[in-house]
Amino acid sequence: MKNPGHERGPEVDLGAVVKAIAAFSGGLDSILAAVLVSRLGVDVTLLHVQHLFSANEEGRARIRAAAERVGLSLRIVDASAEHLEVIRNPKHGYGRGMNPCVDCRIFMLKIAKRVMEEEGAQFVVSGEVLGQRPKSQHHRALLQAADESGLGARLLRPLSANLLPDTLPVTEGWLRREDLLAIQGRSRERQMALASELGVVDYPQPAGGCVLIEKAYAARVRDAFAHVGRENVDVEAFRLLKVGRHFRLSERAKAIIGRNEGENGILEGFAAGRTRIEPVDVMGPMTLVEGEPSEEDLLLAATLAARYADHGDGDKIRMTIAHEGEERSIDAEPIARDDPRIAEWRIGN
C-alpha cells in the first residue's frame, strides 16, 4: 500500500527523508499505524515507553519480537519514575477506577515528543482510533492531548486522520490525505481487514484494560493514598499493590498475604523494612506487615496468616515474626473462616 507519489519517500529540506517516531504498544492499532506510515515512504522508528505498570522482561521480549516482524527499528524508554507523578496527581482526574487516562495519554505523547527531538524526526505517529476509548479518545480529548503534549500539528493519527483536522505531515505534503484512513469506534473489523491488506498476520488479540480500572487494585491505591499519603506511595509500593491479599488491620498497619508459592517468592523481595510472618512447621503463606504495627496488629496478622496455612480445625500454628534482624515465635490460633472481620479488613473485597 505504497503511495505512488512517494516512490523515494517524502523529503524535507535538502532532500532529507522525512522521519517519524511511532508510539508502539505492540497491539494491533499501533502496529498498523506504524506500518501504514512506513509503507508511505516515511522513515519510522518505533517507540515503546515503559511505565509504572509495564510488562516484565518477557513482555519486553514480545515487544521486540513484534518490532522485528514488521521490520522497523525499536527504541525502548523507561519512564516509570516520571509516570508515578501522573498517577499521584492527574490534572484531568481519574476514570471509574484510579485510571488517569487523559493524563497518561498526554504523558506518553510528551515522551514521544522528547524522543522525536532527540532523533531529529519531524512528527509522531499514534495508533489511537477516534471513539475507541470513551474517556481518552473522543474528539475533544484527542485534540487536547495533542495540544497539551506540545506536539500539536506534529502528531499524526493515521487510522483516524480523515476524521480529524489535518496535521503537519499532510499540510507539508509529506503524506497525502487520501492515503490516510477514517476508522472510528470500538469494532476492530476495519483494522483486521487493513492488517490483511498490509500483510500483518501475527498480532495479539485485545488484552485486558489498565490495572488501575480493576476494582480491587483501585481500592488498594485509594487505601494507600489515605493511610500513607499519595506523595509517599513510590514505584515499589505501586508494584506491591498488585501482589497477594491486602488487609487493613488498623489505621497503623496493613497485612499482605501471599496466595501461592509464586506470590510468596515475590513478597520475599519486598520484605526489607516490613515485618515478616511465616508458619514454621506447616505449608503456608508469606505475610508482610507494613506501617507502624502495634503488638495487637502483629498478633492479628499472625492469626489471619494462620487461617490460610495448612492446618486442622482448631490447631494452633507455630509462626515466626521477624523484623530488622530480630525474630520470635508464637503459637497462633487461626482466625475462623467465617469471622466477619476478614471481609471488613480486606481491601478491595
Domain that holds residue 130: 4-198
Average pLDDT over residues 173-189: 95
Identify the weakest region by mean pLDDT among 4-8, 88-92, 122-126, 203-207.
4-8
- The answer as to whether 221 is a domain residue is no
* Distance in angstroms (rounded) separating the CA atoms of residues 178 and 168: 15
Q: Could you tell me which of 156, 166, 158, 164 has the C-alpha nearest to residue 194?
A: 158
Could you report the per-residue pLDDT of 49-65, keeping only the tens digit for each?
Answer: 999 888 678 888 999 99
What pLDDT is attached to residue 285? 95
Together in a domain, 45 and 143: yes
| Confidence label for 6 from pLDDT (cuts 50, 70 and 90) | very low
Together in a domain, 128 and 251: no
Calculate the average pLDDT of the chain: 92
- The answer as to whether 230 is a domain residue is no
Together in a domain, 104 and 185: yes
Fill in the amino acid letter for 253: A
Together in a domain, 168 and 257: no
Together in a domain, 179 and 253: no
- The answer as to whether 216 is a domain residue is no
Together in a domain, 31 and 170: yes
Together in a domain, 48 and 150: yes
CA distances, 148 to each of 23, 83, 303, 313 (Å):
17, 16, 51, 60
Measure the CA dihedral 65/69/73/79, to 10°: -40
| Confidence label for 137 from pLDDT (cuts 50, 70 and 90) | confident
Q: Which of 198, 229, 257 is the last residue of a domain?
A: 198
Q: How far apart are the first and last CA of the chain?
A: 51
- The answer as to whether 262 is a domain residue is yes
For residue 110, give the CATH number of its domain: 3.40.50.620
Together in a domain, 165 and 273: no
Together in a domain, 155 and 275: no
Fill in the amino acid letter for 49: V
**Any residues with CB less than 8 A from the CB of 157 and at least 6 apart, and which?**
33, 125, 126, 127, 128, 129, 130, 142, 164
Together in a domain, 193 and 247: no
- The answer as to whether 114 is a domain residue is yes
- The answer as to whether 215 is a domain residue is no
Q: Which of 166, 198, 230 is the last residue of a domain?
A: 198
What pLDDT is attached to residue 4? 40
Together in a domain, 116 and 10: yes
- The answer as to whether 208 is a domain residue is no
Together in a domain, 255 and 180: no
Fill in the amino acid letter for 72: L
Report how many domains make up the chain.
2
